[in-house]
Structure 1
Amino acid sequence: MKSPLCVTHRKQTASFRIVGLMLAITPLWLMLAAANTLAYAQAKSSPADWTEFHRDNMQRWNPYETVLGVGNVGNLELKWKNPIGAYMTSGGISSTVTVDGVVYFGSTDGAVYALNATTGTKLWSFTTGYLVDSSPAVANGVVYVGSWDGNLYALNASTGAKLWKYATESECTGATLCGSGLVGTSPTVANGVVYFAAFDGNVFALNASTGALLWKYTTGLHVYASPAVANGVVYVGSQDGNEYALNASTGAKLWSYATTVNNVFSSAAVAYGVVYIGASDGNVYALNASTGSLLWSHYYGDDLIDSSPAVANGVVYISGTGKFYAVKASTGDLLWNFTTGGGYESSSPAVANGVVYIGSVDGNVYALNASTGALLWSYRAGEPGLFSSPIIVDGTLYIIYANQSNTGNTYAFSVGVDADLFLRINPSTTTVHQGDLITYAFPVWNLGPDNADNEVLTTQVPEGTTFDYIRISGTPALGTCTHPPYQGTGQIVCHEGASMAPNTTWTVRLTVKLTAPAGTVITANAATMSDTPDPNMANNTATVSLTVQ
């Protein structure tokens, strides 16, 4: 959905802590028991699931969240991150939804992705014909998502298989913009109908099971705001400057309200019988949901407000230009504001259990006290360029970071994250002679229960040997190593560089040449650590010794 500081609580980095481990390496006599590969199992569906951009209450507020709150959000830690699909163009970026233990999102690489919500591992992907910055909607086992190729897709939520697609105009192929028919809005599903809008100015209602067109309404210009559906009415803004209310069954116009500018990118929030929107004239509007009459509008000093509001407990939360606002829902009176380090903010806020979460183009994710605006936690995802909107489900915060350099990640943060790493050293042989090549394998097993992020393995060329070569294998990303030159000696540091799921292994293999004479004891030491807290540090070091024959 085109909606388009450092961490305040931070642990030591793996690279820093591992130095202490290397100073006190002790022998390990433990044997690692065989473990079965963790199989993906769907989580039980919960009313706390965030099924679409607005959430099903059209307020971007999760009233079911009980795990994360004001008291513990400052302890958020990175649970996992996955770089897959984290691409961006000037078109914007999709936001995640999470349903039944699966995270779904679109990417401007043209694909729709499904990740395991617990581990971040990829479950499936589906490739459309062009960019996908639409945020998916999931209902009854089906994922609905739009693409810039001019189609609205329905995919099997378990497999990603295409069930049907609806073309807004003649279909586009390849990297060619699909004219006015591109679908950048996020669909909304209600009562067996999927609603979405397209850049051609049309609002569509389709049979959610078959994709058959039920009705279509044409606004005065392009539509890039996502429809909100409440009480039998579809609310949607258009670049003709109007907010429209349409009969959800027939598409007939019930009313329209003209803002003072020809741009309404903001997707409406609906609560208390009121429609709340931002507009490119810098105003926030509150409209009577039944009649469209203006209840209040306020200008808070921004040139434009294109993000979508969140509404909870009588307060409207919305991003402006370098500012974030909390205003009284009944009057629009300013309650508090928070200054970000960014400019034009298109990320839309999410509210859960007394905390409001926002992404900023300054590259940070913020958690603020919803009552006071006080900063509770922040995480710097990278250089400026965070446009995606956050969601909170069952104690986990999800958000996508991507920038114009097409680098970034899908992130999951939660509290109480642990990953128990277990390291061994296995020599290729126990009988060695001067001049032999010997390979040491350093398998690192993540015993769980959570992902191990950014794992680091540190060792050195054993005394009495010289470096020959090194390689990496395993189920996570292969990673990189810094090492001495051929026939050299010294320290070796290997970075896994991604997330290592529970019950997976990552192995570094070091080959050295024995130069010491017979009778010399050759000792290899190693230590491992990750950015994820480890409850059992005794498993993180290993030593093995051999005697030259």
Structure 2
Amino acid sequence: MFSLMEILDQLNSCNSLCSDFSYSIVPTVLLPLAFLSTGITVVATFIAGLFGIKLKAEGPKKLLEVLLKPKILISAMIFNVLIYGGMEAYQYLKHGPVPLFVQELVNKDTSFSKAPLKAQEGMIWQQSVEEGIFASGVVVGDELFVGSKEGNLFVIDINSGAIKNKIFFGKFLSPTPVYYKGYLYFGEGLHASHHMRVYKFDPIAKKVVGSFQTKGHTEIFPVITEIDGKDYLFQSAGGDGLYAIDPNSMELIWQYKGGHMDAFVLVKDNAVYVASGVPEEDIGKARPYAYKLDVKSGKLLWKEELPLSSWYGPVATRDNICFIQGELHVKSELGGLVCLNSIGQQVSSISIDSPVIGKPIVFDDLIVFNDFDGRVYAWNSITSKLEWKYASREKKIGYNYSSVKYDGEKLIFSDRKGKISYLGLNDGKVINSIEFGDESVFADSLILDQGHLIFGMKGSIKYYKNTVN
């Protein structure tokens, strides 16, 4: 998602939890051992000779002679190439898509029943899918649809909290599903993933009715809109750029490749605004940019360099487009917002000591946003004045990916360690705060009429009443 998804790679892959390494040619063990054995024998023979003792060195010497034969060396090289190729093939398949026929086979019966857990005080209900939830869900009718780290889409009765269905996709369902004209649309995967799809899902029939395959990862949610009677679905796909897709037929309209794009887009005045970031593999080779494209053709209207990467989508104030700023692939204590006008000129900016994460909320020209270290800010994009700042903890804790939300009365912000803070919009003062539990929280809160849902990385879903304030 905004290469927000780097933390998902860490959560989902042992390789990135361990020290960095790269696969290399598997060494032929016997050859270096033979050299070592011969060397030791030569030294031992020399030392023994000083005392008048004669040692035979025929064994190691003959072994070395055998191993240095062209036939043996060529066989070892072929063996190493096969092993290396097997490793690369495994990694390619591991990070690739699950075949559609496998999904269809597993999903012949998606029924799955699990009663809700006992609700605590202040809750409407609570449930656990027992699989990590990174992104918020969406409600269609009386059902909540939410994806998991393990690659399953759960269907939950929004009134009771009972689980009704479990649909298998097999890849990390990293984005929040988007509901548009009777269907759900969502992507999949992590930063290392390739050839990930955008799915069109029927929430009534509980099945996939269409898909579009990219060459990259689709870890951020799509943006769907109607322009002059035609529907457009915009999906960022990492290094594969930005796609415009017809959400009805799921066929390509246009593609723009201009950098590593993990951010969702902003559509305004028949133009598409999107930004790029610099992933770890491109550090020193690429720069981040803001782009303005023609919505119908994908033609580049302008391209402006940004100070830092932008891993989440831009927002619009009354007159300007504002891009979040911050590096996630290198340790950084710098971030902020940069606002451009419709012709790409910078009009205002703010710098803070942490990368900016998540989707800001706009109130006319006031922008409320949160950073990587669990702090919330209110900034006037016209005067460039910081109106207030709130820190959920005394010390920076990092990896805070949940966006601050607004329920019409108060701001709701969940930090990574599960502290839920309720703040006043005008002054940022704490109205109340509660603890989610012993569980990391990365997903945005889901705001509903009766309350709000918080999702945890151990699978907990808690539906809090609006009276929690």
Return the TM-score normalized by structure 1.
Answer: 0.50
Higher strand share: 1
Output the CA distance in 1 between the equivalents of 2:121 and 2:315.
Answer: 27
Q: Does the Cα contact within 8 Å between 2:421 and 2:433 map onto a contact in 1? A: no
Q: Which residue of 1 aligns with 2:318?
A: 313
**Could you tell me which amino acid in structure 2 is paired with residue 165 of structure 1?**
K
* Aligned: 1:226 with 2:221: yes
Q: 1:122 to 1:300 in 2, by over 3 A?
A: same
Equivalents in 1 of 2:404, 2:177: separation in Å? Answer: 17
State the alpha-carbon separation in 1 of the partners of residues 345 and 11 from structure 2: 33
Aligned to 2:301: 295
Larger RCO, structure (CA 8 Å, separation 6 or more): 1
Aligned length: 305
Structure 1 match to 2:246: 247
- Contact preservation (8 Å) 1:219, 1:240: no
Counterpart residue identity of residue 261, structure 2: V
- In the TM superposition, residue 328 of structure 1 has moved relative to its aligned partner by 3.1
The verdict on how the C-alpha distance between 1:154 and 1:268 changes in structure 2, with shifts beyond 3 A counting, is: farther
Aligned to 2:331: none
**RMSD of aligned Cα (Å):** 3.4
Tell me the CA shift for residue 213 of structure 1: 1.3
Instruction: Tell me, in whole angstroms, the C-alpha distance in 2 between the residues paired with 1:503 and 1:203.
Output: 38
Alpha carbons of 1:410 and 1:220: their partners in 2 closer, same or farther (altered >3 Å)?
A: same
SS at match of 1:184: coil
- Alpha carbons of structure 1 residues 396 and 253: separation in structure 2 relative to 1, 3 Å: same
Distance in 2, Cα, partners of 1:256 & 1:357: 32
Tell me the equivalent position of 1:411: 421
Q: Which one of the candidate residues 182, 187, 192 is aligned to 1:192?
A: 182
Distance 1:201 1:121, change over 3 A: same
Q: Provide the residue aligned with 2:402 in structure 1.
A: 388
Deviant stretches of 4+, over 4 Å: 87-92, 450-454, 501-504
The answer for the alignment partner of 2:413 in structure 1 is: 399
Q: Which amino acid aligns with 1:324?
A: G
Q: Which residue of 2 aligns with 1:130?
A: 131
Superposition deviation, residue 283 in structure 1 = 1.0
Decide which of 345, 353, 368 is 1:357's aligned counterpart.
Answer: 368
Q: CA deviation at 1:163?
A: 3.5
The offset of 1:222, in angstroms, is 2.0
Deviation at 1:227, TM superposition (A): 0.8
Show the 5 A alignment for 1:76-87.
Answer: none
The gaps in structure 2 that reach 5 residues or longer are 13-113, 190-194, 279-287, 327-333, 435-464
Per the TM alignment, residue 401 of structure 1 is displaced from its structure 2 partner at its CA by 0.8
Q: In the superposition, relative to structure 1, how do residues 163 and 453 fare at CA in structure 2: closer, same or farther (>3 Å)? A: closer
Range 188-197 or range 365-374, more displaced = 365-374
2:154–2:167 CA contact under 8 A, matched in 1? yes
Identity of paired residues, percent? 18
Q: Which amino acid aligns with 2:358?
A: S
* 3-state SS, counterpart of residue 347 of structure 1: strand
Name the counterpart of 2:291: 285
1:48-447 matched pairs, under 5 angstroms: 90=10, 121-169=122-170, 181-199=171-189, 201-231=196-226, 232-260=231-259, 263-281=260-278, 282-302=288-308, 304-321=309-326, 322-342=334-354, 344-382=355-393, 383-384=395-396, 385=398, 386-402=400-416, 407-414=417-424
Q: Distance in 2 between matches of 1:268 and 1:248?
A: 16
Q: Is the 8 A contact 1:352 1:392 kept in 2?
A: no
- Cα offset, 1:240, TM superposition: 3.1
Report the Cα distance in structure 2 between the residues aligned to 1:250 and 1:120, rounded to whole angstroms: 47
CA distance in 2, matches of 1:88, 1:201: 15
Shift of 1:258: 0.2
Tell me: CA distance 1:314–1:165, structure 2 relative to 1, closer, same or farther (3 Å). farther
TM-score (norm 2): 0.59
Q: Is the 8 A contact 1:401 1:408 kept in 2?
A: yes
**Change beyond 3 A, Cα 1:128–1:287:** farther
Contact 2:340 2:348 survives alignment (8 Å): no
Kindly indicate whether the alpha-carbon contact (under 8 Å) linking 1:315 and 1:327 is maintained by their aligned counterparts in 2: yes
Distance of aligned partners of 1:284 and 1:219 in 2 relative to their CA distance in 1, 3 Å threshold = same
Question: Residues 235-286 of structure 1: CA distance to partner in whole angstroms, max 9, x if unpaired?
Answer: 11112331001101110000000013xx321112222222222212411112
**What amino acid sits opposite 2:405 in the alignment?**
I
Contact 2:122 2:467 in 1 (8 A): no
Aligned partners of 1:275 and 1:233: how far apart in 2?
11
Give per-residue Cα distances to partners, 1:28-81, cap 9 Å, x unaligned: xxxxxxxxxxxxxxxxxxxxxxxxxxxxxxxxxxxxxxxxxxxxxxxxxxxxxx
In 2, distance between residues paired with 1:201 and 1:227?
13
Any idea what the Cα deviations from partners look like across 1:186-234, whole Å, max 9, x if unmatched?
1110111000001161100011222221201110022212111111211
Deviation at 1:329, TM superposition (A): 4.4
How far apart, in 2, do the equivalents of 1:148 and 1:241 lie?
23
**Greater Cα offset, 124-133 or 313-322:** 124-133
Gaps of 5+ in 1: 5-86, 93-110, 170-180, 418-449, 455-500, 505-531, 533-549
Q: Which amino acid aligns with 2:249?
A: T
